Amino acid sequence: MLDFHWFLPTYGDSRQIIGGGHGLPAYTAIKDRPASVKYLTQIATAADELGFEGMLIPTGAWCEDAWITAALLAGRTERVKFLVALRPGAISPTLAAQMAATLQWQTDGRLLLNVVTGGESHEQRAYGDYEDKAGRYARCDEFLQVFRRLWESTAPVDHHGHYFDLDGATLHRRPPRPPLYFGGSSGAAGPVFADNCDVYLTWGEPPAAVRQKIAWIQGLVDERHRRVDYGIRLHVITRDTAEEAWAAAGRLLDGIAPEQIERVQAGLRRSESEGQRRMLELNRGTKDDLVVSPNLWAGVGLVRGGAGTALVGSHTEVADRIQEYAALGLTKFVLSGYPHLEEAYWFGEGVLPILEERGVWAHPARRDEPAVSHVPFAAAI
């Protein structure tokens, strides 16, 4: 079965694309909805009811804190999980494990962790982190080794490495370890993932590029005799007809001023992220020719760092494209759209029922229900 996750815009929401990310401040021409607990609760409860597995909560100077946001929303939702972004360079592995254990226990297993190594030196320095990119990956690897030992070891953990020194570290409580999600396209990212993590996430590239990336990661995983899952991070614009969907994409594009594109693209070209470089190659900094694969539109990445592509089309077309990605081995789909509340309903009420009819998805609340024999009403009475 496929799993679908939605996105919590903890920097605010709008009917236009909100730029920012990867070291850039969040902004948009019209910022309609601040990231209040009340508004984020609306999105989270919608995701809960519609059948999304979890909610991705980002990290960075441009948004609210991911851990605190998850804790605030956990008591306001019933089932949906929280895919919390974790930066290994900003916290000790012992404290991170303790925080994760607490949230995992208090939410009855509703925590997932998205490991963010950090691709922008200028942003990392704002947090007091002066490691270069190679150092950040090496530190992330050591962090994850210690983090996992704290969950797996019944004895106190001693560790004396290049980045971390601990003596007698333990977890007071050890619920099941949250699955570790990880994304990275550079050469250094692959071994760190293959050694430590559970779900590999790629940004929304055309299927041929995604196939190559999965083959690369799977080769590393096979060498280690491990089993992992694969996911993809995309935006979506889905409507009853293709014409309506592309008109909505056009309105987003119309809301982007040329000076915005120039300013954001200049900032994103400073990025050390290989994934960001690949996103920039898809949009090329221009509003022209943004359809880079059937129903895959690169317009979001003109002014937004990170994931910059969207599936655009009718509900049936979007469902078809999702199944094409699934055929490559992807089972986790982390999605978003503008505004995030309304787009969650467009996708949840338009695309998910189609995928359920095709037998590749079921609402999480119904997955464990026993089959019900449907008796005609007249016969029942």
For the chain, the domains span 3-234+314-364
Q: What is the mean pLDDT of the chain?
A: 92
**C-alpha torsion 352→183→27→337, nearest 10:** -10
Rg (CA), the chain: 21
Query: How does pLDDT run across 328-356, given as a tens digit for each residue?
Result: 999 999 999 999 999 999 999 999 999 99
Give the orientation angle of helix 66-74 with respect to helix 93-106, to 10 degrees.
Answer: 20
What does pTM read for this prediction?
0.93
DSSP state of 33: B
Query: How does pLDDT run across 99-119, given as a tens digit for each residue?
Result: 999 999 999 999 999 999 976
- Helices H, strands E: what count in the chain? 14, 15
Q: Which two tokens stand for residue 42?
A: 């609306």
Q: What is the pLDDT of residue 228?
A: 98
How far is Cα 279 from Cα 262, in angstroms, rounded to an integer? 15
Query: How does pLDDT run across 269-294, given as a tens digit for each residue?
Result: 988 899 999 999 999 999 999 999 99
Q: What is the CATH number of domain 3-234+314-364?
A: 3.20.20.30
Collapsed DSSP state (helix, strand, coil) of residue 263 = helix
Helix or strand run (H / E) with residue 83: strand 81-86
Peptide linkage before 339 cis (omega within 30 of 0): yes
Instruction: Give just the sign of the alpha carbon dihedral 127, 128, 131, 136.
Output: negative
pLDDT interval class at 53 (50, 70, 90) = very high
Given a contact cutoff of 8 angstroms between Cβ atoms, the answer to whether 217 and 191 are in contact is no
